[in-house]
Amino acid sequence: MATVLVIGASRGIGLELVRQYREAGDRVIATARDDAGLARLQDLGAQALRVDVANPASVSGFSWQLDGEKLDVALYVAGVMDRAGATTPPTQQAFDRVMHANVLGLMQVIPQVLPMVEEAGGVFAALTSRMSQIASVPASNAWLYRVSKAALNMAVASARFDYPRARLVALDPGWVQTDMGGTSAPVALADSVAGLRAVLASVSPEDNGRLIHFDGQRAAHW
């Protein structure tokens, strides 16, 4: 039985990760920022912790809630979307909202969680997006979101050097049928998460720092 941590698990991909790992018989620790999210996690049999990744004060004490854990798999799933294109300058409020959740939260979590992943020789993954890939960017829509996920990729790729006994990857779940992705998205939620779990089980030392798509494809260029 593995111990799995899912950060940002109150709905969508995070909640489905909790569901599938619990159905596989794994022990799951998961975070949410409100009572409703915590209740959903508890209903699935997860150990639920209250953390708001967009609030630095909330994240700062995260390691105390995890004291003594050894984590086989840890996932940073939390994130928010902004759909404005490059003709619209982001407001400071929008910039802070997206970058705090998608980047600052991750960079606060990594130093707290990675020692526990190293203890288990495990895998840490942060959810990114195909929209983060600079070499293949096709449009300017959601440019603040794209920038945040490109920054997330760099955070993962650079952090790996300080945690040599763990494997760190960025995972693209695809365009998924969630509240964020919409009903017209081509990838079913259960299929995306099943693919992500298979990828996590297959991550090798050679994958350290890479972007990997939910179908197992390793990105050649970021």
Task: State residue 83's pLDDT score.
Answer: 84
> 70: closest CA among 105, 34, 121, 33?
121
Q: Give the strands of the sheet with 27-32, arranged side by side.
A: 47-50, 27-32, 3-7, 73-76, 123-127, 167-172, 211-213
- Residue 23 structure tokens: 């159905």
* Residue-by-residue pLDDT tens, the chain, 222 positions: 999 999 999 999 999 999 999 999 999 999 999 999 999 999 999 999 999 999 999 999 999 999 999 999 999 999 998 888 889 899 999 999 999 999 999 999 999 999 999 999 999 999 998 766 777 767 777 889 999 999 999 999 999 999 999 999 999 998 777 776 667 777 888 999 999 999 999 999 999 999 999 998 887 655
Strand partners, 74: 5, 124
d(CA 212, CA 185): 19
Helix, strand or coil for residue 4? strand
Nearest to 214 by CA among 164, 149, 156, 170: 170
pLDDT of residue 222: 58
Q: What share of the chain is helix, strand, coil (3-state, %, to 5)?
A: 45, 15, 40
Cβ distance 14 to 6 under 8 Å?
Answer: yes
Cα 80 to Cα 8, 75, 127, 156, 187: the distances in Å are 11, 16, 11, 18, 19
**pLDDT at position 94:** 95
Per the document, the length of the chain is 222
Q: What are the backbone angles phi and psi of residue 140, rounded to the nearest 5°? A: -105, 0
pLDDT of 135 = 73
What integer pLDDT is reported at residue 184 of this predicted model?
Answer: 78
Using alpha carbons, list the distances in angstroms from residue 1 to 28, 52, 73, 219: 10, 28, 11, 30
Name the residue ranges covered by the structural domains of the chain: 3-213
Q: Which CATH fold topology does 3-213 show? A: Rossmann fold (3.40.50)
